Amino acid sequence: MQTIKFYLIFFLSLYLESRSYIDYESPYHPVVGTEGMVASQNYLSSEIGVEILNKGGNAVDAAVAVGFSLAATLPRAGNLGGGGFMLVYIKEKDEIFFIDYRSSSPLNSNLENIFDLSSNSTKKLESLPKNFDEDKYELVNTGYKASAVPGTVAGLLEAHKQFGKLALQEILEPVIKQAKEGITVTYDLHKAIESTPRLEFDKESRNIYFENNKPLKENSIFIVPGLANTITLIAENGRDGFYKGETAEKILAAMKNNGGLFSKEDLDSYKPYIRAPIVANYRGNKVFTAGPPSGGGVTLLTALNILDKYNLSKYQSNSTITYHLISEAIRRGHNNRSSEVGDPIYYDVPLNQLLSNERIKELASSINLKKASKASTVKPIEVINESRDTTHYSIIDSDGNAVSNTYTLGASFGSGVTIPGTGILMNNQMNNLVYKSGDVSKIGRSVSPGNKFQPGKRPMSTMAPVMVFDKEDRLSLITGSPGGSYIPAAILRVVSGVIDFDLSIGDATMLPRVHKDWPYRGIDYEKTLSSDILYNLNRIGHKTEANKTMGSTQSIHIVNGVNYGFADLRRPNSAAVKQIAK
């Protein structure tokens, strides 16, 4: 009998081994490793990040290299001329830091010079009149006036200064080599250039991204003139290699020659801020993200706090009620950021009220499990007193230090402007501020007092880098996404997929995504969502509209000391790359 039992166990173990190896449970396979790992929107930049880890650098060193590298490999979103938010986790300190290096409006900007209003104005405008037609003045979307003061270089260097390990020159050496040698133009890059007319309106951008008046051909070599020199100056001089000296002079000269608004004072005075992240407890897991001027962080945590009141695990990840609840929670999250979120230096953001138990109860109580809510039933908080071409990357090193970083130029290729001789593409983030604040004839974020334009102010953003710690306070997930207002929904789907439905990071990433904003529209959905779910959502009152894919999450899921990296398949050329143990 014992012999029979032994053979049964033996053959069963062989069967299970064979099954686990051959019968894959999912078509979405993560990269698996026990050392460092980098997940970014371009495989070449991920490889450079791992190269820095192999040199003995930590996660922050790798993050700096990846951030600079993406300026060459993903020029429509990776940037030196933009800004962003970073979370840094230092394992030895067991502490998370939020670095705000969001772009800021020029100090001498005002409504008159932004919109080229008549210089005969007898008084300074506090906000645009209700009947002002912004379209006639081409609201700061392209060209030199569209750009806020860039913070990327200052932010990455501040992270390195505070938490880095290797010398800056050593970190940037492979990035400079990459910029000098150039990269091969992919189909995706070719099509991105082809679909961005604003590049043709700027002489320097036209010279770089077009050849014989046509977008660079696929498989040609793409070299950005001046970019290697710009990064070399930063490697040698740190912050002064960008905000002072040769590069600063070129930026200021170009601004002066093209009606831009930057001054020497803007570059001299720009600084990143190290702040505390904001956090929500979601089913015993701590979800950390960026606070103001991030509105995306408030949106995400609001939605998670609402969903925490429902036991999603008793439903399927692709059930109608799951999509209904996610949509209603995200709608209320966007409502919560609609009015009172902005740059905390200029506006007293009532975070404690926005994320309070009372506010969450108020928002959750307006949800009907069997019927879609009307926008009018969701009210903004009363207090007494957005582009998809962002990019994200996630990094962990072998010591457990981690970085979650999201940064942006705004629109694809930003303002379309490249500073001559530098390779620096400029952002168009001035259009993220609100110019009609307080217009009672309107509703929504377009009149938000928290995000009202002021010189020197940082615009609200939906960027929301995320780190999740499990019930034992161990780092379990690093993630984030581009996607404009779709960012919170993309991240929420991944976090919920992992926590609520115990999915692998690949399966959680590839769940169909939905987005419901406030107060503007019904549910936007990805076309992978089933027709049955769509029928049911429409039946209970949601107005559904097919949309493009939402976001591009770059994630690392840590389970029992093993890293599982997954680069979202929604956008091409991304990759999770692991460090090989020596």
Q: Which residues have a catalytic role annotated? A: 390
DSSP-derived pairing of the beta strands 523-526 and 544-547: parallel
DSSP labels, 184-200: EPPHHHHHHHHT-GGGG
d(CA 364, CA 220): 53
DSSP-derived pairing of the beta strands 221-222 and 214-215: unpaired
Instruction: Quote the distance between the C-alpha of residue 511 and its chain's center.
Output: 19
Nearest to 391 by CA among 32, 70, 54: 70
Structure tokens at 167: 């010398």
The dihedral of CA 281, 287, 292, 295: what is its sign? negative
The dihedral of CA 197, 203, 205, 211: what is its sign? positive
DSSP labels, 58-103: -HHHHHHHHHHHHHHHSTTTS-SBSEEEEEEEETTTTEEEEEEE--
Structure tokens at 331: 């709608």
d(CA 294, CA 337): 9
Contacting residues for 543 by C-beta, under 8 A, at least 6 apart: 521, 522, 523
Residue 93 burial (CB count, 10 A): 10
Contacting residues for 462 by C-beta, under 8 A, at least 6 apart: 294, 295, 296, 299, 386, 483, 484, 485, 486, 487, 488
Contacting residues for 494 by C-beta, under 8 A, at least 6 apart: 477, 479, 505, 508, 509, 511, 553, 555
Crossing angle for the helix pair 320-337 and 487-499, to the nearest 10 degrees: 130
Q: At which residue do the structure tokens 């309107």 appear?
A: 442
d(CA 398, CA 55): 12
H or E element in which residue 336 lies: helix 320-337
210, 345, 350 from 460: Cα distances, Å? 33, 12, 14
DSSP label of 395: E
C-alpha count within 13 angstroms, C-beta hemisphere, residue 467: 28
d(CA 523, CA 540): 12
